[in-house]
Structures are given as structure tokens and as C-alpha cells.
Chains A and B, each alone.
Chain A
Amino acid sequence: MRRAIAQEDDPGLVAALCRGDADAFATLVDRHSSAMIRVAMAYVPTRAIAEEVVQETWIAVMRGIDGFEGRSSLKTWIFRILTNVAMRSGARERRSAPFSALAEAEDTGGPSVDPDRFLPADHELFPGHWAIMPARWPTPEEGLLAGETRGVIAAAIAELPLAQRTVIALRDVEGWSSEEVREALEISAGNQRILLHRARSRVRNAIEDYYGAVEEIDYDAVTAELMGDTAKKETDSD
């Protein structure tokens, strides 16, 4: 059965490339180059060098496509070539390390949300619970990603450390699966999730700062109500 999703139709695409179908090649270049620049940027110091890495990778792909055996997906194969080219290029620029080393060097250990937002661990009734709750955001339909907010989110992503930025860009901006990200960057599933979590948390904090809207919880009232309930129950059972 033919797969409905063109992106997964590797055999057809590979056959077209081997036949010399330039449209098929153009489709492939348009589909992957943006993500390839993002990945290359993790290995080389400038955008211009990253573009050269992508260019060199495509030349390797057009020369090597006859040798592609389909043991991995075409996408995985292309990104493996990209990583090799980028590593070599990074070495020339004296900046060459596997992505996993870059990821390890980044601080991912801190809390996702400012601890001051929570009640202290020794709080009598609600240890570690929200002191100041997250407020409801507008939905995407209500304009969450409209105009200015879009800029806020883009800026937050741009300010992320490189490994986190690369992972959130591939997952959420390019729409890759976790498996694809893991394979292309050669990192473990756990690492991928840590980087993604850290990145999304920071983006969330930036959006929250922008909206500046948080709801204080009146825990005294909640407590009084609970106590009231308990007292009422005791009275009822008497």
C-alpha cells in the first residue's frame, strides 16, 4: 500500500532523484533546508557558515543518492551527512563537539518556574502548591500568536541556549517528532525531553512576563473554607 504522506514516500522520491528529476530535488531542498540551517548552527559559529554547510550537504546528497540503501529514512540519512559536514566545518572553526556535549554543557538543572511562585515546603496545609497561579492566556484564536506576542515568543526562542533552541525549533517550529530529533542530533530520549522541557518552560515564562497576568490565590479563604467543612462534618457526626 502506498503511503498517503508524500514526506514518507522515500522510495518514490529516491527513484525520482536517481532519474535526475530536478523538481524532486527542489522539493527536497525546500522541505529540509530550514531545519538543516538550525541544526548546522549548533556546530558552527555563524549563519553564513551554516548556510555553506547546508550547501555542501546538498552537493553530497546529489552525488551520493545512488548509494542510499534505504536502511534509514531519507531524512535521517541527509541529516547524518549534514552533521558530519558541520562537525568537519566546526573543527576548522575550532568549535567541534557532538550535540550531546553541547547539551550537557548547558544549564538545565534549575527550576522551570520561579520557586517564589509556590508556598514553602513547610507550609502547614499546601506545601509546594501555587502561591501565585498562572493566569489564563488568550487562546491562539483570541490572538495569542498575533503581532507583538509573536515577537515576544520569537525573541524568547532566540535567547535560549543553543541546544535548547535547536530542540524547540525542530520540535515545535519545524514540527518534527521526538524520534526524528533524537536521531538527527544523536541524543537520548531523556536528554531530548529535558532540553525541550527547559526550552518550553522559558518560552512560557517569557509569555507570562509579557502578559504580566498572574492570579493571587487567597489561601486563607481556602483554608477557612476547608476548616469550615471539617468543623461542619464534625458537628454533623456529633
Chain B
Amino acid sequence: MADQPVHSHADDLACIEVVELVTDYLEGALPAAEARRLEHHLDTCPGCTEYLQQLRTIAGSLRGLTENSFPAEMRDGLIADFRSLRNR
């Protein structure tokens, strides 16, 4: 409906509350009623919809972002240790 008020429900969440709930929501940790309230808010709030999308993007696109490689000489040394220990 075009003339539906944007945020008129007394029990509607405010955006400032929504931004603290998005991780619990994405983790599936919100109680069902609370999740419905949040989804209801998202239906009419482009700002929070974008915010949720941003956190989703962060959650989904950091794979392998920072290298944390174990020194090669330590790795090779361990494998040599394994060989001599297990093949005695």
C-alpha cells in the first residue's frame, strides 16, 4: 500500500536498536518473535536493510584476507620430525 506509514507501529524497533541485533540475527540466535520484529522493520527501512547487507558482505568476503603463514622451515622441520618419529 502506497500510503502505509513508514514507521508508525508502537512496538517497532528503532534503527539504533536494529544495528545491535544484526549479528544475532545473522547467526540465527534471535528468538523467533524478535526476528520477525526485525524483519518487519527491514521491510520498511532502507537504511537498516543496507546496514544488514554490509555486515553480510563483511561476514562473507574476508576469507583468506590476511596471510598468517607458518614459517616454511618450521613446517618442513616438523614433517621431518614426524617421519623420524613414526618410522622408527
Contacts and interface: CB of A to CB of B under 8 A. Distances in A.
Interface of A: 17, 19-20, 22, 25-26, 29-30, 33-38, 51, 54-55, 58-59, 62-63, 111-113, 115, 118, 125-130, 133-137, 139-140, 144-145, 150, 153-154, 157-158, 168-169, 171-175, 178, 189, 193, 196-197, 200-201, 203-204, 207-208, 217, 222, 226, 229, 232-233
Contacts of B31: none
A129 B15 contact: yes
B3 A233 contact: yes
B54 A137 contact: yes
Q: Kindly list the 4 A-B residue pairs having the minimum CB-CB distance in the complex, ordered from nearest.
A: A128-B14, A20-B86, A197-B23, A33-B70
B24 A193 contact: yes
Contacts of A169: 66, 68
Interface string B20-40: 101110010100000000000
Interface of B: 3, 5-7, 14-17, 19-20, 22-24, 27, 29, 45-48, 50-51, 54-55, 57-71, 74-75, 77-79, 81-83, 85-87
Contacts of A25: 78-79, 82
A127 B14 CA distance: 7
A34 B24 CA distance: 27
Nearest to A24: B82
Nearest to A130: B47
Nearest to A55: B74
A72 to B, nearest CB: 22
Contact of A62 (B20, B62, B69, B86): B86
B47 A217 contact: yes
Contact of A134 (B16, B51, B87): B51
B28 to A, nearest CB: 9
B24 A154 contact: no
Contact of B23 (A36, A128, A200, A232): A200
Contact of B71 (A51, A201, A217): A51
Nearest to B22: A197
A157 B65 contact: yes
Contacts of A203: 58
Contacts of B77: 55
A29 B24 contact: no
Contacts of B46: 133
A114 B85 CA distance: 56
Given A172-B58, A172-B62, A113 B19 contact: yes
10 contacts: A17-B86, A20-B86, A22-B86, A111-B19, A112-B19, A128-B16, A128-B17, A133-B46, A145-B61, A200-B59
B87 to A, nearest CB: 5
